[in-house]
Structure 1
Amino acid sequence: MINYSVGTGDLKNWIVAETDFSADVLGKSEAIMMLGNGYMGLRSATEEPYIQEKRNLFINGTFNKSQENEVTELPNAADFTQLDIRVDGERFSLEFGETNEYIKQLNLKTAELTRSFVWESPKKKKLQFKFSRFVSLNNMHLIAMKVEVESLSHSVAISFDSGINGQMTNSGAQHFLEGERRILDERFIQLSQKTSESDVEMVFNTVHHFRFNGEPTLPVADKDMQRRKVWMAYEFYLEPNDKLEMEKLSTVHTSRDQVVEQNSMDFEQLRQLSIEELKQYEEKGYDVLFKEHVKAWHDQVWKNYNFKVESDHAFDQLALRFSLYHLTAMQPPSGYEHLGVGAKAMSGEGYKGHTFWDLEIFILPFFIYSNPTAAKSLLTYRYHGLAGARKKAEENGYAGAMYPWEMAWPEDGETTPIWGDIDIVTGAQSKIWSGFIEQHISADIAFAVYQYEQVTGDKEFMERCGYEMIFETAKFWSSRLEWNEERERYEIHNVIGPDEYKEHVSNNAFTNYMAYFNLKLAERYAEQLSAQNPQFLETFDLGDANLDWKTKAEKLYLPEPRTTDLIIPQDDTYLQLPEIDLAKYKNQSKVRMIYRDYNSEQINGIQVTKQADTLLLFYLLEQTFLQQDSRLSSAVKQENYQFYEPRTLHDSSLSLAVHAVIANDLGESDTAYSLFRKACEIDLGEQMNTSDDGIHAAAIGGIWTSAVFGFGGVRFSESTLQINPRLPKQWRRMQFAICWQGTALTLEITHQSLKVTAYDGAVTFETDGKTYHIQNGEIEIQIGREIEINSH
């Protein structure tokens, strides 16, 4: 059972806990309690092994293809966490004996995982166990573990087999060649491996340190090796009240590390460097390293983001901290501009570690507003992907950059698998069409570049990366448009929009409007550069491209709201499709239940939507220079929300946050709050199998989005910050921090007032149609009137 109420005092609403153990439902806590620092992600499997476990360690950016007919994926790296424990010579497992006082918990504040319980063996011997671990935010290569065992009743023999297990696979696929194993100085274990296709070299190190009744001890160990595995075996005898403590410190390094590239380091040098580093960590020990790690979380995360909510439901505060925790754990380290964020982050094998449009639309906004440096790094990852995007465009007969639907290492290009789930009607594999015809991602990336530039004002990034990304994606759309001679307009045929229940459709509204936005954006930037820096513009060798963008954008078909009811057709055929009673699926206990009754082809012919599609247009484009377009007016948004929401099953975790924001905009506060809670419960809900393949990174970003953009009313609008809050009745107050064009801001919101504090800079913002300006000070506004301004 997952429990969110165990935290008390200073830890209230900071603890995600599991208070009962079941070997049949391990995936939930393994995923939502994962540990990470952006360089690596460690799934929180138990130390002792179980059949249903998924033991994962992923190192960001180390993609490999295991077989020629497979796609590249993040390889499941060698495991440090499994301990083969024996009590009186018998294998220790919670499936035997009796377990009491069990609790497994992730402390979000300290980013430490602990598990403790009292266990009575089948021989009636009682032992107290406590396991602790963290993945350091201060030392990005470090994984630290601690085991504490106390005999509560009898004399007992206890032994540990502990080391490095390189026999790990991705659902059976082996990604590593056999490497070298060695034990140095009788204590330091090292395993070196190389990926089978991408030639990424990795070195894994570990060392153990023991205390017996508080005193350091160095037991004699048996050493052993097997194929891809090396370990040491330790044995102890405990009398009643004896306490044994084992620390295990481990490190991971790869040939793609920054230090390797900057110093032209060979692998042997990296191996030696990594051992010397581990020796330094061992001198400090778990407790000192943990304090450094906790300080890093405080200084880099909790002090900076400072998100507080006073709610009728304590869960809301915990959910927002959970969001910030995982967004930090998935953030690539500083300087690692070739690393992205996968749809499951690094918490499981789902989606193979690939980056989707989830990054730009649902994850990146948090970083743009909260950590612009990290946002720039993630957009630079997409910039490095231009080579693969150009290659995909050329292979499909287009110009410019056609971004992959799924992206791994930037230069890899398209990495979407071709085959997926079973077709319940034919029994065959279903083809995954997204990599071929879900093309809106190129415009989504263009939107993210625009959003970043508007919010941060970062011209250096635009000159180095941004303009080129915009121009190249515009070239793609210009070549992608299809001329309809009969109607004298450009159209876009045979695509998948955000609603992946509709394949091979024409004129998907989201795709067409976003392509239009991309073309107009390129046109605007080219005109700005022509006036401000024509010499720089010439470096892009655009020729007549700007004129082409302008001409084609003006003649691109944009589905209009129907005059009868203002509904924008999702695509050419959606409004003509038959309707069915969707109540069964709207009230489903888990997602995608519709696939139990229909296959993809049948769903394609029903008026049903997987996730926010047409509605997403309003959320995105009303923040742009298209905000005054009558086709995107508030009245049109209202009618389309009322029409599409009942037809949307939210079978994607990306959907709920968008609907929550729009519902709040439209004054449907109760619905917005309900959707916010459902978004939180995608990973934090009571169902124990929702996160087996990993957490839902976009939904976790969506928790922050629905709170800040929805209830907080924060938006950008053509370089202007807008703040129009509307708190749900369940919330009395919220406080959070954002950055706006280099100035750090804190916003405090109640039902009666908005207080904005600016630090080390000035900001101009709009609230309720009025403009305010502050510099190094604070302003409080109540019901449209200014209360007071204090200068610092």
Structure 2
Amino acid sequence: MDYSIGKDKYENWILGDQDFSAFHLGKTETVMLLGNGYMGLRSAAEEPYLNEKRNLFINGTFNKADQNEVTELPNVADATRLDILIDGERFSLEFGETGDYSKQLNLKDAELTRSFVWTSPQGKKLQFHFSRFVSLAHPHLIGMKMEIQSLSGAVEVSIESGLSAQVTNSGVQHFLEGDRKISEGRFIQLVQTTTQSGIDFVHNTVHTLKLNDEEITAEADKYMERRKVWMSYKCKVEQGDRFDLEKLTTVHTSRDKERDHEQYSLAEMQKQSMGELKDFDKEGFERLRDSHRLAWQENVWNAYEFEVESENPDDQLAIRFSLYHLTAMAPAHDDRMGIGAKALSGEAYKGHSFWDTEIFILPFFIYSNPDTARSLLQYRYHGMAGARQKAEQFGYAGAMFPWEMAWPTDGEVTPEWGDIDIVTGERTKIWSGLIEHHLSADIAFAVYQYVNVTGDEEFLELCGYEMVFDTARFWSSRFEWNEEEQRFEITDVIGPDEYKEHVSNNTFTNYLAYFNLMLAMRYAEKLAKENPALWKSLVGEGDHANWQSKAEQLFLPEPRSEDLVLPQDDTYLELPEIKLDKYKTQTKARTIYRDYNPEQINGIQVTKQADIVLLFFLMEQTFLKDDPRFSRKAKKENFIYYEARTLHDSSLSLSTHAIAASQIGEQELAYSLFRKTCEIDMGPNMHSSDDGIHAAAIAGIWKAAVFGFAGVRQADGSLQINPRMPKEWRHMRFSIFWQGELLQLDITEKRLKIRSDSQREIQFETNGVVYTFEDSIEVQLKH
């Protein structure tokens, strides 16, 4: 990968690959993903290769392939493949000679391009250029263009292109055979319907051919076979001539919000979507690409305005990479949809949403795009029925949210079995969906954070109160009474550190559950004063007293007196230690599983990802921030202790440790952890992203910069800004929303400038001093 390609107005905007390798296709297919929140298109090459993964996912279109499978996002019909013949010889970069190869994702324009000079085994020399976009201006549209110029005499170019529903999810077919047709000699349509969820998909595509910029009608044949319909074109290209093929494709589904109603008609969707494609055909590839570029500039880059002046120019590129993928993954169009752990970039995790969204991804949207943040929280609210059903299934009250969530009504969708046990050779049991319970409190925290930052009281009344009260009811029923200790405990759980299964009193889980109960009580008191009728409908007669009693008697682990270290769970600090050096310096995550099985890992002091360190980060944002157990000294001691034992085998981990290191004054380490966060997907490991992007880590790039280096924080409803920039950074500038007002922050080592377009008073705290301003303010920073 090469990140220095961008020049002039595209400096620090380009991700590039200058050396084609058929063995490393997954890297660029993933990091160069094209998407708009409605759909995500993996950036496979147009010509086919053995190790490619052609994935197109439409958000929210989950299907269960069979009874022994869990629901997943199906890989829908492919329109990107082009089978190309040059004088009857199959074109592939695995044959002949390739020169001047370049594959690039232009983040600014959200456009994928690929160009090279190819000499065929027969000696025919041609210049190829491909470009592709997934439109942000028209969410159902994919645009493609191929340009071929002959450099060594006349050649005959043959191209087969159309729609293929022969793709699968790693061999699993999710669709019934559907209607296919070609109309007016140009317009191709293919229909497919999911086998279990019954979702209709209508794909349309059309080709336009040009020779030296003049539209032509080339010789064309029409073909159709099982799950596939396509056309074959032939054109003679003289030396120096340029042959262009432009292809416009649209995708619509019966799950689209505008069609999800009783009057829905597949025939009508076929008709309307084809009419839309014909309108796009009249507009043409170039104009559609221009409107797409404009949408990105206005809706993303002008809106977020994030600039970094660093000794390492890759830092600016990484920030833009983060903003690009956060935009591409977010279903801002539909509050019934969430963000998967791999977003829309690969089949791993099956498109399911985890706690990644609330704790790692949502904060970006809360501070940068509150409307989308609200939509993502409403997705969880739509899943309340499934959360209540799961709680009832396990014998609990309230709402116990699914560890993995798909369509809101699907309930728990965590698979039962996972990777190989290196000792027994059998599959390992996945316990997360059964005993990793902290998610319910994570969602309550997300509601609290969202409301404090945005001031969106309407959301509280429509959704938020109910979510917090029902999760509090779950925890109240989940606690177990320890008669000997005379306290409530939480036993047999998994905390954020998933290398510790079946533990008791995971400190993160206990404190988050406690916070959840305390928040429910606070919200109940607030609601009783402000809206008694709603309070009466949402809060049961004995709820408040029950929450208070349970909270007061819940065991909250105490730090060790000698070093203030909080135990991760009941037994962690008593477990034996091993040398972790080789795992701390590993180039591939989870190599410890090649030496130990889960049961053995459970019995040693090793942590997969941020657990106690994450707890400190969350608690300092709440009404528990002044608790001496979360003091600055305790934060430092816990960071030192757990960083040494944390392998960061989850991509969620590094950004949290980067933020913590920055807060305790370890700027060199903080910057190193920030760079490692960036390199999870952008780094030199050419297989790190084969299965898809690491959505939470991509959000972590933004978090490490804003919460770590800029020191932005909401602390129980107040705004704190305590910059701690690394020595490599000279300047950073970005915007955030605070309680409905847009603030522009400009930070150097010595000063903080804030500007607001509002005439409303804004209050914030820096280095313990509270400031108030209306238009703008400049504060000198002390270190």
TM-score, length-normalised on structure 2?
0.99
Is the Cα–Cα contact under 8 Å of residues 157 and 237 in structure 1 kept in the other structure? yes
**CA offsets 1:395-415 (integer angstroms, 9 cap, x no match):** 000000000000000110000
Q: Give the C-alpha shift of residue 222 in structure 1.
A: 0.6
Deviations 1:127-174 (CA, angstroms, capped at 9, x unpaired): 000000000000000000000000001211111100000011000000
Specify the code of the residue in structure 1 equivalent to 2:51: Q
Query: Separation in 1 of the partners of 2:332 and 2:604?
Result: 45
Identity of aligned residues (%): 63
- Take 1:611 and 1:20, find their aligned partners in 2: how far apart are those partners? 34
Q: Deviations over 1:62-107 (max 9, x none)?
A: 0001111000000000000000111111111000000000000000
> What's 1:131 paired with?
130
Q: Secondary structure in 1 aligned to 2:635? A: helix
Give the match for residue 411 of structure 2. Answer: 413
Equivalent position SS for 1:3: coil
1:574-608 CA deviation, whole Å, 9 max, x = no partner? 01110000001001111111011001111001100
Distance 1:427 1:594 in 2: 16
Distance 1:94 1:582 in 2: 43
Shift of 1:774: 2.1
Bigger mean CA offset, 102-111 vs 214-223: 214-223
Question: Are 1:64 and 2:63 an aligned pair?
Answer: yes
Aligned partner of 2:391 among 370, 393, 404: 393
Correspondence for 2:745 among 747, 752, 757: 747
Aligned equivalent of 2:552: 554
SS in 2 for 1:637: helix
Match of 1:771 in 2: 770
List structure 1 runs of 4+ shifted beyond 2 angstroms.
261-265
| Structure 1 residue corresponding to 2:735, chosen from 714, 737, 740 | 737
Shift of 1:489: 0.3
Looking at structure 1, the residues matched to 230 and 716 of structure 2 have their Cα atoms a distance apart, in angstroms, of: 59
In structure 2, the partner of 1:357 is 355
- Change in CA separation of 1:541 and 1:664 when aligned onto 2, cut-off 3 Å: closer
Is residue 743–residue 761 contact of structure 1 (8 Å, CA) maintained in 2?
A: no
The one-letter code of the counterpart of 2:440 is: S
- Aligned-residue RMSD, C-alpha: 0.9
Give the aligned partner of residue 304 of structure 1: 303
Amino acid at match of 1:669: Q
Distance 2:353 2:750 in 1: 41
Partner of 1:107: 106
- Give 2:542's aligned residue: 544
1:25-68 per-residue CA deviation (whole Å, 9 max, x = no partner) reads: 10000000000000000000000000000000000000001111
The answer to whether the 8 Å contact 1:503/1:604 transfers is yes
What corresponds to 2:232 in structure 1?
Answer: 233
Give the secondary-structure state (helix, strand or coil) at the position aligned to 1:224. Answer: strand
More deviation in 319-328 or 84-93?
84-93
Q: Are positions 1:203 and 2:198 aligned together?
A: no
Map 1:423-502 onto structure 2 (within 5 A). Answer: 423-502=421-500
Q: CA deviation at 1:783?
A: 2.9
CA offsets 1:465-492 (integer angstroms, 9 cap, x no match): 0000000000000000000011010000
Match of 1:35 in 2: 34
Task: Give the letter for the 1:389 counterpart.
Answer: A
CA–CA separation in structure 1 for the residues paired with 2:263 and 2:432: 39
> Which residue of structure 2 lines up, in the alignment, with residue 658 of structure 1?
656
Q: Within 5 Å, which residues of 2 pair with 1:36-185? A: 36-185=35-184
Matched residue of 1:261: which SS? coil
Q: Are the equivalent residues in 2 in contact too, given 1:177–1:195 (CA < 8 A)? A: yes
TM (normalized to structure 1)? 0.98
- Cα drift, residue 534 of structure 1: 1.6
Counting matched residue pairs gives: 782
Retained in 2: the 8 A contact 1:767–1:784?
A: no
Structure 1 partner of 2:5 = 6
Deviation string for 1:319-342 (max 9, x for gaps)?
A: 0000000000011133x1101000
Equivalents in 2 of 1:588, 1:783: separation in Å?
A: 38
The one-letter code matched in structure 1 to 2:446 is A
Secondary structure in 1 matching 2:691: coil
TM-fit CA distance, 1:186: 1.0
Deviation of 1:343 after TM superposition, in Å, equals 0.3
Partners of 1:746 and 1:437 in 2: CA distance: 43
For 1:743 and 1:85, locate their aligned partners in 2 and report how far apart those are by CA, in whole Å: 54
**Is the CA contact 2:332–2:375 (under 8 Å) kept in the aligned structure 1?**
no
For each residue in 1:553-578, what CA deviation from the matched residue of structure 2 results, as whole angstroms up to 9, or x when unmatched? Answer: 01100110011211111001101110
Give the structure 2 partner of residue 277 of structure 1.
276
Distance apart, 1:261 and its partner CA: 2.9
Q: Does 2:381 align with 1:371?
A: no
Q: Secondary structure at the match of 2:175?
A: coil
Matches within 5 A, 1:777-788: 777-783=775-781
Match status 1:532 vs 2:530: yes
CA distance in 2, matches of 1:192, 1:145: 21
Q: Distance in 2 between matches of 1:359 and 1:593?
A: 26
CA separation in 2, counterparts of 1:219 and 1:659? Answer: 59
Native 8 Å contact 2:749 2:781 kept in 1: no
For residues 26 and 270 of structure 1, the distance between their equivalents in structure 2, rounded to whole angstroms, comes to: 35
Using the TM superposition, give the Cα deviation of residue 531 of structure 1 relative to its aligned residue in structure 2, in angstroms: 2.0
Letter in 1 for 2:656: V
Measure the CA separation in 2 of the matches of 1:221 and 1:539: 66
Match of 2:676 among 675, 678, 686: 678
**C-alpha distance 761-340 of structure 1, shift in aligned 2 (>3 A):** farther
Q: Is 1:17 paired with 2:16?
A: yes
Q: Which residue of 1 aligns with 2:317?
A: 318
2:696 to 695, 698, 701: 698
CA distance in 2, matches of 1:761, 1:616: 36
Separation of aligned partners in 1, 2:212 and 2:662: 58
Is the CA contact 1:158–1:238 (under 8 Å) kept in the aligned structure 2? yes
**1:327-386: CA deviation from partner (whole Å, max 9, x where unpaired):** 00011133x110100000000111000000000000000000000000000000000010
Q: Give the secondary-structure state (helix, strand or coil) at the position aligned to 1:221.
A: strand
Counterpart selection for 1:604 from 598, 602, 623: 602
1:512 corresponds to which letter in structure 2? N
**Which runs of structure 2 are paired with 1:329-348 in the superposition (5 Å)?**
329-334=328-333, 336-348=334-346
In structure 1, C-alpha distance between the alignment counterparts of 2:425 and 2:262, rounded to whole Å? 54
SS in 2 for 1:245: strand
Give the Cα–Cα distance (whole angstroms) in 1 for the partners of residues 500 and 228 of structure 2. Answer: 47
Q: CA deviation at 1:242?
A: 1.1
Report SS of the residue matched to 1:536: helix
Q: Which runs of 5+ in 1 are unaligned?
A: 786-792
- Runs of 5+ consecutive residues of structure 2 not aligned to the other structure: none
1:188 aligns with 2:187: yes
Q: Report the equivalent of 2:562.
A: 564
Which amino acid counterpart does residue 150 of structure 1 have in structure 2?
A: Q
Cα separation, 1, equivalents of 2:636 and 2:392 = 41
3-state SS in 2 of match to 1:277: helix
- For 1:18, the aligned partner's letter is D
| Residue 761 (structure 1) shift | 4.6
Specify the SS of the correspondent of 2:292.
Answer: helix
> Are 1:720 and 2:698 matched, yes or no?
no
* Secondary structure of 1:658 counterpart: helix
Task: Say if 2:180 is the partner of 1:215.
Answer: no
Structure 2 counterpart of 1:789: none
Indicate conservation of the 8 Å contact 1:419/1:430, yes or no.
Answer: yes
**Are the equivalent residues in 2 in contact too, given 1:744–1:761 (CA < 8 A)?**
no
- The alpha-carbon deviation at position 532 of structure 1 amounts to 2.2
The offset of 1:759, in angstroms, is 1.7
Over residues 170-213 of structure 1, what are the superposed CA-to-partner deviations in whole Å (9 max), with x where a residue is unaligned? Answer: 00000000101011111100001100000011000000001111
Amino acid at match of 1:243: R
CA drift at 1:524: 0.6
Change (3 A) 1:386 1:761: farther
Q: Do the aligned partners of 1:714 and 1:721 also contact (CA within 8 Å) in 2?
A: yes
Q: CA deviation at 1:784?
A: 5.9
CA contact (8 A) 2:468 2:519 kept: yes
The letter of the residue matching 1:767 is T
**Separation in structure 2 between the aligned mates of residue 53 and residue 154 of structure 1, nearest angstrom:** 32
